[in-house]
Amino acid sequence: MSASAFPRRTAAFTDAYFLASSSARRGRLNASSRITLPFISQTTRRMAGWGCFLSDLDGHNARHPTNWILHQDSMDAQEKTSVSVEEQQQQAPLKLDHHGLPLVPQPSDDPEDPLNYSRAQKYLIVCIVSLVSFFGLVNLSMMNHPYAQVGLALGVSVIEASYIGTIGIASAGIGSFIWAPLSNVYGRRPVLIASQAIAIAAGFGSAFATSYGTLVVGRFFVGLGVASGNVVCFAVVSDVFCLHERGKMLGIVTVALINGPHVASLPGGFIAQNVSWRWTLILPAICTTVCWVLIVVALPETVYIRADPKSQAAAKPILAKHHPRWRLRLTGSGGPGPRRSLQLMDFVRPFQMLKYFPIVALGLYAAVAFTLGSVMPAQTVSALFRNFYGWRSARTGVALSVSTTVGGVLGEVVAGPVIDKLLERSRKREGRVRPEVRLHGIWPAVVLLPAGLLIFGFSIHNNEAKNSYVGATVGMAITCFAVQVVTTPVIAYCVDCYKPQAAEVVQLLNFARQEISFTVGFWSLRFGEHEGVGFHLSGVTYACVATAFFIPVFVIMIYGERIRARLGEPTFNKGL
Summarize the confidence of residues 265-291 as an average pLDDT.
Answer: 86
Summarize the confidence of residues 401-417 as an average pLDDT.
Answer: 84
CA distance 246 to 417: 10
* 393, 221 Cβ separation under 8 angstroms: no
Most confident of 63-77, 99-113, 327-341: 99-113
User: Percentage of the chain with pLDDT > 70?
Assistant: 72
pLDDT surpassing 70 at residue 54: no
Summarize the confidence of residues 293-299 as an average pLDDT.
Answer: 90
244 or 177, which is more confident: 177
- Overall size of the chain counted in residues: 576
pLDDT surpassing 80 at residue 9: no
pLDDT surpassing 70 at residue 84: no
Least confident of 5-19, 117-131, 455-469: 5-19
Summarize the confidence of residues 568-572 as an average pLDDT.
Answer: 78
Whether the model clears a pTM of 0.85, i.e. scores above it, the answer is no
Contacts (Cβ under 8 Å, ≥6 apart) of 32: none
CA distance 396 to 245: 38
Distances (CA, A) of 256 to 216, 340, 484: 26, 33, 10
Cα-Cα end-to-end distance for the chain: 56
52 or 191, which is more confident: 191
CA angle 229, 298, 187 (to 5 degrees): 55
The full set of domain ranges for the chain reads 5-91, 114-567
pLDDT surpassing 50 at residue 237: yes
Could you read off the pLDDT of 252-262 as tens digits, one per residue?
888 888 788 77
Contacts (Cβ under 8 Å, ≥6 apart) of 232: 179, 180, 183, 188, 191, 192, 195, 503
What pLDDT score does 110 carry?
62
Mean pLDDT in the chain? 74
CA distance 187 to 181: 9
Most confident of 184-198, 421-435, 498-512: 184-198
Positive or negative CA dihedral for 144, 150, 151, 156?
Answer: negative
Most confident of 110-114, 306-310, 471-475: 471-475
- Answer CATH for 114-567 from 1.20.1250.20, 3.40.50.1820, 1.10.1040.50, 3.40.50.300: 1.20.1250.20
Decide: helix, strand or coil at residue 334. strand
Summarize the confidence of residues 460-487 as an average pLDDT.
Answer: 87
Could you read off the pLDDT of 508-551 as tens digits, one per residue?
888 888 778 877 777 877 777 777 778 888 889 899 999 999 99
* 496, 490 Cβ separation under 8 angstroms: no
Please report the DSSP string for 153-197 in residue order: HHT--HHHHHHHHHHHHHHHHHHHHHHHHHHHHH-HHHHHHHHHH
In which band, very low, low, confident or very high, does the pLDDT at 272 lie, cut at 50, 70 and 90?
confident
What pLDDT score does 96 carry?
55
* 262, 404 Cβ separation under 8 angstroms: yes
Least confident of 23-32, 216-225, 280-289, 403-412: 23-32
Instruction: Note every long-range contact of 37-46, with CB atoms under 8 Å and residues 24 or more positions apart, other chains counting.
Output: 38/83, 38/86, 41/17, 41/82, 41/86, 42/79, 42/82, 42/83, 44/10, 44/13, 44/14, 44/17, 45/14, 45/75, 45/78, 45/79, 45/82, 46/75, 46/79
What pLDDT score does 33 carry?
39
CA distance 152 to 162: 13
Decide: helix, strand or coil at residue 569. coil
What pLDDT score does 52 carry?
42
Distances (CA, A) of 260 to 135, 227, 493: 6, 13, 23
Most confident of 82-86, 221-225, 375-379, 465-469: 221-225
Widest Cα–Cα separation across the chain: 106
Helix axes 212-240, 188-207, angle to 10 degrees: 160
CA distance 13 to 238: 43
pLDDT surpassing 50 at residue 306: yes
What pLDDT score does 20 carry?
42
